[in-house]
């Protein structure tokens, strides 16, 4: 039997997938376990592997194989996979290996130093590292932009949300800019008239850990194929066969960690739910960062802020912390849907969250397009926080522009995906309700299987078979429609 | 400046070192963290990387570079490094890539299944996996034996203790076979007349963990360059810049975990103490497994069974478990030096330990030379345990031939290194006492710096600069002399 060009390409993808597995575990370990003196060697090891993966992904033989495979008789799955192989190949070939390695080093160094600089509020030492990361990100954007015929920021954005342009985002975000400030005002005014009982702590870390594991069980996480650990910035890493989620704990307040864990569980189940028989091929990868966030937000917000969800969580809180009046489901629902402008994005409620994204989207686009510099960030941040949320962040870098891992890690173009994800998730639930009119009654009965099955069938199992617009159309019967998000917020909060 | 052949070789070693870093962390994670369903993908990833490292290590260009470098003007360090590069190259070239990959797969699968088969005492399911591992180990031994002109078992042994042959080991072990049974009889008879107070448990795992960390501090472990976790079989892994030690806990008895932790700390400090400026080059690697064990046994036995050491541990036990009469230093020393034939090698005292090694050495040599098969192991094990230690192990596979990770992981030829290490460590302390007559007084004062400095200067910093016999000669002023081990045991236990 002679091997076809497609088979050759497919075997090469399998090889990349296996090597990237080691990279994913080492990156998770770097955030969750690694002691300080291990960082230099780890950064060098990750950079070496980045370079090697890049070398394999840019093997000159690939161009011919891709062309040859296109003329072979392939079934639909193979053809979709070939499209994704070509997409990855085009992206990899836009960057020279030296830049890939320099990027890995600069990002690793900046991110590692950030872990101690952030608690120390040390903007002065952080800024030069971030400048190095930005210089490389701009070079990357320039090269990608030339190869794809896109603007510089759009070229970075395309890596996280293939097919989306800043113009599309601006189109979805423009109504948001209009109605968001008014909605925040109306909701906070309405909630200021409500009485909410505060949970009384402290909430020991060990009890919070056990609660988090129970919440993951409620949300169907497979513990034989993943685990939960701690890191400074919560994330969901690892590989589909072994998902590594992290969270962080504050003993005075368990809600950020609990809801963060439920959020990451959405990411984790997407990965665990990808089509196993295709794992290793690009068609089996999660579709995009926006679609990924649509899963975490389906878990954290569509379910988490559902009026019936508090009834499912309440017994778990009583189990791990003992009973107290604040855990009564009606009060718990108020706690889970409390809207309050705050400094920290990852702790934000779903109404003010988009304001954090508008701010970051505006700043990072200007950074990449060269309209502003790292030195300008604090003043821009202060101005936009005052304008969007009425908060003063002057001099408070650690809760301002130093709060996120994204920029230190060089992830420019990622932020808008969070709000795209919020919009997609509202659209999923609108579609689910249309197909399953008793959906809310199911949730009230603690039967979440209907939600998980819908997500599995329409999103997880589809993986990267379709490009994003087609996935959205097939799953929900219409293109991205930001009106669902507005309707969701108005119905839940007003 | 043109690059020399030596510089080229050296850069390639650096690259291998960096990629092997990821492999080391993924292997540690596999034992310490990984959930069950992650194993198939992890095994494939590790095998892919094994294959890749093997491919890089057998690049056809290396033969010419090695010959060219030999004619270049090199300093002593470079020349010793070149010798070690050539040693690794010769070993790598003895095996075809397909065998390297098959070995990685079979060993990973067998070891992973063993983790559940051992507690289930499931020899029937374990045996076929081990047979697969053995088939590959025999092929490997055959190929290495042809390339090195050694017997099959010697060819495997050479990987762990370069330069040592079974004949050398038999020469060192022959007197041991003579005096060990009598010594065990005399010591147990003497100890049967002593009264020893048993510590009263339970000893909560959390307190044991904290105690273990304090013991590691006492032994000078650098926690900014390593950590302690849990795994079924304790080991010391990771990389010199980030040492990953593991232990396991039993709440009814803290001593096995505590002394196991002190043992692994010896391995860990050897790795942490390797010459940093040379890391990445083969000359900076730990010399051999026997020399490695000489460090762990210097910590666990030469120090751990020293009459003054109980005085250092006693306050730590009181701190973590509260005071009790059994923790009084005199009684604690008796507990730390209690000799009792038992089933489990890793829990054995230093007097009966060599019996476990004689048994394994005899069986594994016969397995590799093809004189016995996997099916024969239980009967051989039962016979030798009865003969050497007077114990009945029939039907008890989990505490018999299934107790160790070595064979499931394909590490044939490793076991004799433990007793070679015990012999080297006795020789180190004999040399130290000759140079520092007040050594025992220093230890009694809790001043362990003199011991650590001697080990650092004569062993850790020397790394692989000399071949083993020269390292031993330089450090102790004489060749391997098993009389020091006998003298140590007689003076400490009779």
Q: Is A49 close to B226, i.e. CB distance below 8 A?
A: no
pLDDT value at residue B1? 45
Does the beta-carbon distance from B241 to A49 stay under 8 Å? no
Q: Under an 8 Å CB criterion, which residues of B touch A?
A: 15, 18-19, 21-23, 25-26, 29, 33-38, 40-42, 44-49, 52, 222-227, 239, 241-242, 279
Residue B231 CA to its chain's centroid (Å): 16
Q: Does B288 reside within a domain?
A: no
Same domain? A159 vs A108:
no
Query: Whose CA is closest to A484, among A403, A429, A438, A421?
Result: A429
| CB-CB under 8 Å, A33 with B21 | no
Question: Within this chain, do residues A219 and A129 fall inside the same structural domain, yes or no?
Answer: yes
Query: How far apart (Å, rounded) are the C-alpha atoms in residues B465 and A116?
Result: 38
Residue A199, helix vs strand vs coil: coil
Per-residue pLDDT, A2: 55
The ipTM is 0.89
pLDDT band of B164, cuts 50, 70, 90: confident
Mean pLDDT, rounded, of chain B? 95
For residues B486, B488, B491 and B494, what is the CA-based torsion angle, rounded to 10 degrees? -60
What is the DSSP code (8-state) at residue A390?
Answer: -
Assess if residue B60 is contained within a domain.
yes
CB contact under 8 A, B45 and A15: no
Residues A95 and A126 grouped into a single domain: no
Considering the candidates B84, B101, B111, B264, report the single residue annotated as catalytic.
B264
Mark whether A352 and A490 lie in a shared domain.
yes
Q: What's the structural domain count of chain B?
A: 1
Nearest CA-CA partner of B267 in B240, B230, B233: B240
* Residues A461, A440 within the same domain: yes
Residues 6+ apart with CB under 8 A from B167: none
CA B258 – CA B209 distance, rounded (Å): 9
Taking 70 as the pLDDT cut, the residues of chain A under it are 1-2
Residues A86 and A136 in one domain: no
| Spatial CB neighbours of A301, under 8 Å, sequence gap ≥ 6 | A350, A422, A425
pTM confidence score: 0.89
Chain A interface, Cβ < 8 Å to B: 15, 18-19, 21-23, 25-26, 29, 33-38, 40-42, 44-49, 52, 222-227, 239, 241-242, 279
- Do A181 and A90 belong together in one domain? no
**Inter-chain touch A19–B239, beta carbons under 8 Å:** no
Q: In the Cβ-directed half-sphere of A461, how many Cα atoms lie within 13 Å?
A: 9
Q: Are residues A88 and A205 in the same domain?
A: no
Residue B262 has pLDDT above 80, yes or no: yes
Residues of A in contact with B35 (CB under 8 A): 223-227, 242
The whole-angstrom distance between B213's CA and the closest CA on chain A is 15
pLDDT for residue A1: 44
Is B42 within 8 Å of A242 when comparing Cβ atoms?
yes
Of residues A133 and B100, the one with the higher pLDDT is A133
Residues from chain A that touch B223, judged by Cβ atoms under 8 A, are: 35
Mean pLDDT, residues B10-15: 97
* Rounded Cα–Cα distance for residues A164 and B329 (Å): 71
Domain end point (choices A121, A142, A159): A121
- Residues A41-66: pLDDT tens digits? 999 999 999 989 999 999 999 999 99
> Are A374 and A434 members of one domain?
yes
Cα angle A136, A141, A142; round to 5: 95
Q: Does residue B55 belong to any structural domain of this protein?
A: yes
Q: Which domain holds residue A200?
A: 122-494
In a domain, B242, yes or no: no
pLDDT band at B361 (very low <50, low <70, confident <90, very high): very high
Same domain, A62 and A185: no
Please, what is the average pLDDT of chain A?
95
| B224:A36 CB<8 A | yes
B93 within domain boundaries: yes
Can you tell me which residue has the tokens 């003993």?
A: A251
**Residue A408 and residue A279 share a domain:** yes
Residues in B touching A33 (Cβ below 8 Å): 227
**Can B40 be counted among the known catalytic residues?**
no
Is the separation of the CB atoms in A177 and A484 below 8 Å? no
**Residue found by looking up tokens 């990770």 in the block:** B405
The predicted pLDDT at position B92 comes to: 86
Q: Is there a domain that residue B83 lies in?
A: yes
Residue-wise pLDDT for B44-74, tens only, equals 999 999 989 999 999 999 999 999 999 999 9
Q: Are strands B242-247 and B236-239 parallel, antiparallel or unpaired?
A: antiparallel
> Does a structural domain hold residue B453?
no
Q: Are B298 and B427 in contact (CB under 8 A)?
A: no
pLDDT of residue B90: 87
Secondary structure element (H or E) that encloses residue B226, with its range: strand B226-230
Residues whose CB is less than 8 angstroms from the CB of residue B491 and which lie 6 or more positions away in sequence, other chains included = none
Within a domain: B32? yes
Both A210 and A344 in one domain: the answer is yes
The last residue of a domain, from among A121, A136, A165? A121
Which of A80, A106, A121 is the C-terminal boundary of a domain?
A: A121
Chain A contacts of B41, Cβ < 8 Å? 18, 21, 239, 241-242, 279
Active-site choice (A101, A161, A264, A462): A264
């Amino acid at each position: 039997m002679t091997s076809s060009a497609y088979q050759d390409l497919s075997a090469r993808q399998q090889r990349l997938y296996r090597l990237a597995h080691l990279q994913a575990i080492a990156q998770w370990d770097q955030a969750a376990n690694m002691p300080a003196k291990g960082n230099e060697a780890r950064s060098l090891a990750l950079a070496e592997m980045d370079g090697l993966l890049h070398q394999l992904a840019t093997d000159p033989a690939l161009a011919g194989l891709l062309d040859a495979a296109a003329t072979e008789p392939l079934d639909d799955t193979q053809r979709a996979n070939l499209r994704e192989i070509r997409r990855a190949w085009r992206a990899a070939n836009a960057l020279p290996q030296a830049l890939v390695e320099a990027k890995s080093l600069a990002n690793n160094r900046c991110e590692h130093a950030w872990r101690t600089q952030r608690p120390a509020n040390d903007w002065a030492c952080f800024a030069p590292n971030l400048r190095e990361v930005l210089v490389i990100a701009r070079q990357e954007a320039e090269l990608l932009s030339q190869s794809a015929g896109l603007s510089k920021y759009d070229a970075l954005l395309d890596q996280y949300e293939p097919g989306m342009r800043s113009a599309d985002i601006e189109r979805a975000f423009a109504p948001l800019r209009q109605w968001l400030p008014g909605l925040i005002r109306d909701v906070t005014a309405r909630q200021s008239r409500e009485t909410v009982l505060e949970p009384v702590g402290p909430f020991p870390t060990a009890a919070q850990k056990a609660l988090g594991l129970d919440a993951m069980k409620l949300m169907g996480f497979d513990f034989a194929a993943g685990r939960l650990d701690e890191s400074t910035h919560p994330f969901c890493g690892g590989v589909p066969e072994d998902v590594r989620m992290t969270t962080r704990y504050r003993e005075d307040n368990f809600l950020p960690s609990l809801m963060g864990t439920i959020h990451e569980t959405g990411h984790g189940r997407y990965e665990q739910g990808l089509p196993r028989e295709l794992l290793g091929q690009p068609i089996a990868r999660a579709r995009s960062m926006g679609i990924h966030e649509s899963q975490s937000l389906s878990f954290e917000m569509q379910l988490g802020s559902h009026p019936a969800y508090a009834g499912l969580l309440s017994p778990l809180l009583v189990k791990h912390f003992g009973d107290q009046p604040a855990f009564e489901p009606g009060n718990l629902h108020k706690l889970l849907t409390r809207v309050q402008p705050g400094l920290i994005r990852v702790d934000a409620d779903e109404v003010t969250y988009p304001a954090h994204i508008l701010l970051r989207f505006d700043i990072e686009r200007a950074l990449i397009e060269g309209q502003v510099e790292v030195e300008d960030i604090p003043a821009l941040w202060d101005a936009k926080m005052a304008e969007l949320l009425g908060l003063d962040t002057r001099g408070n870098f650690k809760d301002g522009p130093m709060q996120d891992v994204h920029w230190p890690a060089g992830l420019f173009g990622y932020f808008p995906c969070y709000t795209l994800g919020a919009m997609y998730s509202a659209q999923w639930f609108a579609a689910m309700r249309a197909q399953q009119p008793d959906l809310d009654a199911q949730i009230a009965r603690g039967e979440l299987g209907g939600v998980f099955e819908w997500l599995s069938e329409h999103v997880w199992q589809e993986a990267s078979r379709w490009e994003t617009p087609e996935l959205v159309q097939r799953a929900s019967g219409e293109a991205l429609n930001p009106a669902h998000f507005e309707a969701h917020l108005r119905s839940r909060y007003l």
